[in-house]
């Protein structure tokens, strides 16, 4: 297994919409394994392929972030079919957005349709934390980051802080 380099803001690669997976082949399986490994190594609860340098519609997640059990889920070509209610995510963060966290307004419940890693159709009803993870990761596949959901002023402040940090190495 290979640890992948996580693409970070403001890399424009993160802004591009991903392509649907048409063939779940060995290359895709390898990407999935490497993504999971990378997610656990970074103590994340979710990772989208675009964050690992692949413009493919794949996400892995594990709300427990338990690197011993590695009981992660894979969604290929996920789509939100239905969403309702509203909630504030608690201190949301992203492996591609270093040193920043924010509460974000999210739907409380979603129903997601996707394929599993064997190509079988899945339908997942999620609420609470799992619902936030789904919305956050599916956003990534559309080129959207969680900081796109916060105020322009807060985003601008983070952008400046990030540019400063990048400059000073
Ligand atoms: Ni993220």
* Distance of CA 95 from the midpoint of ligand 1 (Å): 6
Sign of CA dihedral 162, 90, 62, 148: negative
Residue 119 phi/psi, 5-degree rounding, is 90, 5
Residues with CB under 5 A from ligand 1 (ion): 94
* Distance of CA 51 from the midpoint of ligand 1 (Å): 8
* Distance of CA 142 from the midpoint of ligand 1 (Å): 12
* Distance of CA 33 from the midpoint of ligand 1 (Å): 18
Active site residue 137: yes
Domains of the chain: residue spans and CATH: 12-168 (3.90.45.10)
100 vs 90: CA distance, rounded Å: 13
17 vs 41: CA distance, rounded Å: 25
pTM score: 0.96
- Tens digits of residue pLDDT in 78-116: 999 999 999 999 999 999 999 999 999 999 999 999 999
CA distances from 68 to 36, 41, 62, 71, 72 (A): 12, 11, 12, 9, 11
- Tens digits of residue pLDDT in 1-60: 899 999 999 999 999 999 999 999 999 999 999 999 999 999 999 999 999 999 999 999
- Tens digits of residue pLDDT in 117-134: 999 999 999 999 999 999
Choose the catalytic residue: 84, 108, 125, 137: 137
């Amino acid at each position: 297994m290979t640890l992948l380099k996580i693409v970070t803001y403001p890399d424009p690669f993160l802004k591009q919409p991903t392509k649907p997976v048409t063939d779940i082949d060995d290359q895709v399986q390898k990407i999935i394994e490497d993504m999971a490994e990378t997610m656990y190594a970074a103590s994340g609860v979710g990772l989208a392929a675009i964050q690992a340098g692949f413009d493919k519609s794949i996400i892995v997640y594990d709300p427990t972030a338990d690197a011993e059990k590695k009981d992660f889920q894979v969604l290929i070509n996920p789509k939100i079919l239905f969403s309702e209610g509203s909630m504030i995510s608690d201190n949301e963060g992203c492996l591609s957005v270093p040193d920043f966290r924010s509460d974000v307004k999210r739907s409380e419940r979603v129903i997601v349709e996707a394929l599993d890693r064997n190509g079988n159709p899945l339908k997942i009803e999620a609420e609470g934390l799992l619902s936030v993870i789904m919305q956050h990761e599916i956003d990534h596949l559309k080129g959207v980051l969680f900081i796109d959901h916060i105020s322009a002023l807060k985003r601008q402040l983070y952008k400046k802080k990030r540019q400063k940090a990048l400059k000073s190495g």
